[in-house]
Amino acid sequence: MKKPFISFTSDFGVQSQGVGVMEGVARSICPDAHIIHLMHGLPDFDIITGARTLETVNWLPIGYHVCVIDPGVGSKRRCLAIKTKRGDYLIGPANGVLIPASRVLGGIVKVVEITNSQYMRELISPIFHGRDIFAPIAAWLAKGTAIEELGPEINLKELIPPPYDEAILSGKEITARVISINKFGSFHLNILSSLWDKLGMQLNEVVELALPNEKIRLMFVKTFSDVIVNDPLIMKDDYGRMEVAINQGHFISKHPLGVGDKIIVRKIEK
């Protein structure tokens, strides 16, 4: 029988014992599970970057994916388990962080509020739901528990919206937002590659980026080395969205931006 697959993503520090503890709790319930850590050490409380990161679970095996970016932990915010059309389950707080991933996994089949304490740890810390609720729930689901056993179903209209919507194409421009910044100082936009194609850009054509405090022009290319060193570029990233970078440089250092900032991309007419 194929082993069930569980992944963990969080803003815990990469050296936090909480990372290992969550895995240990899951293994104590479902010892046969194959567990990986997609990413930890995400920016503190950053639901946008967390949601963008969780989108990449569509590259993982079908499984049970926990995301703990949870600034409202211990409050009245709800805990969710979402079943998606691809067959994955997403487990985490009801703050919108799970919604973008549910979209790339085909959409939501069912979502429940986690209320059944039978599937939680006996003692629940008000500040560590990753250990006491989310990890156990993922493990019980991986072990074969039906999602209906976890709590009442929630109407999709009741869900908190995602921290970012998809970019909007209007004529020859796309209105977008920054949804993550990587260690190289490049940033990713909420522009799907499929939407970009509708802009009608050809490789090596130039676009204008209207940043919060300036406008710059850069070339649409396949990869970094298609422009000279220290030149900016825009390209399709490796996860289905658009990325802006500098070849062997740090874009954000030269053009300060933050996650959530609005960007307008305009096609330059010849």
| pLDDT confidence band for 2 (50 / 70 / 90) | confident
Q: How far apart are CA 198 and CA 193, in angstroms?
A: 9
Q: Residue 14's pLDDT is what?
A: 83
| pLDDT confidence band for 270 (50 / 70 / 90) | low
Q: What percent of the chain has pLDDT over 90?
A: 96
Please name the fold of domain 5-158. Answer: Rossmann fold (3.40.50)
Q: Residue 15's pLDDT is what?
A: 86
Q: How far apart are CA 185 and CA 96, in angstroms?
A: 26
Q: Residue 189's pLDDT is what?
A: 98
Q: How far apart are CA 183 and CA 100, in angstroms?
A: 22
* H or E, element range at 244: strand 241-246
Taking the domains of the chain in order of start, what are their residue ranges?
5-158, 168-267
| pLDDT confidence band for 1 (50 / 70 / 90) | low
Q: Residue 244's pLDDT is what?
A: 98
Q: Mean of the pLDDT values across residues 151-160? A: 97
So what's the architecture of 168-267 in CATH?
Answer: Beta Barrel (2.40)
| Range 56-73 burial, b when 16+ CB lie within 10 A, else e | bbbeeebbbbbbbbbeeb
Q: Residue 269's pLDDT is what?
A: 78
Q: Mean of the pLDDT values across residues 175-181? A: 97
Q: Residue 233's pLDDT is what?
A: 98
**pLDDT tens-digit profile of 80-99?**
999 999 999 999 999 999 99
